[in-house]
Amino acid sequence: MMNISICKALSLLGLIASFLFATAHAQNSDADSASLYLAKACAGCHGVDGRTPATPYYPKVAGQNETYLYNQLRDLKNGSRNNSQSSIMKGIMTAVSDEEMRAIAAWLAKQ
């Protein structure tokens, strides 16, 4: 009887701990992605919020679909998206890993 309630108590604690961890982790990864966006100089052209580009020729990137954003970043990086302005992004993207593209795309989609 005693063992069962200890087990229940422990599993409840485990649940609480994993909930707290998941919540803290979600907040961290949003903050991490926001700093990644700044650290990779994206804000210089697309605006800190992703919707106030530095020139009318640079696109607004916030609030776009996550999958679309990731696909554009990947294609701009590997050169399969190639138009008059793509070379501007291609240089930048050499310093952005696949994992970082996914994080930034997910964050931008939520802005």
The whole-angstrom separation of Cα 108 and Cα 103 is 9
CB atoms under 10 Å from CB of 64, counted, come to 17
Q: Rounded to the nearest 5 degrees, what angle is found at the Cα of 98, between the Cα atoms of 30 and 108? A: 35
State which of residues 29, 30, 34, 45 lies at the interface with ligand HEC (CB under 6 A).
45
Shortest distance, CB of residue 32 to ligand HEC, whole angstroms? 14
Is there binding between residue 40 and ligand HEC (CB under 6 A)? yes
Binding footprint of ligand HEC on the chain (CB under 6 A): 40-42, 44-46, 58-59, 61, 69, 72-73, 81, 83, 85-86, 88-89, 92, 96, 104
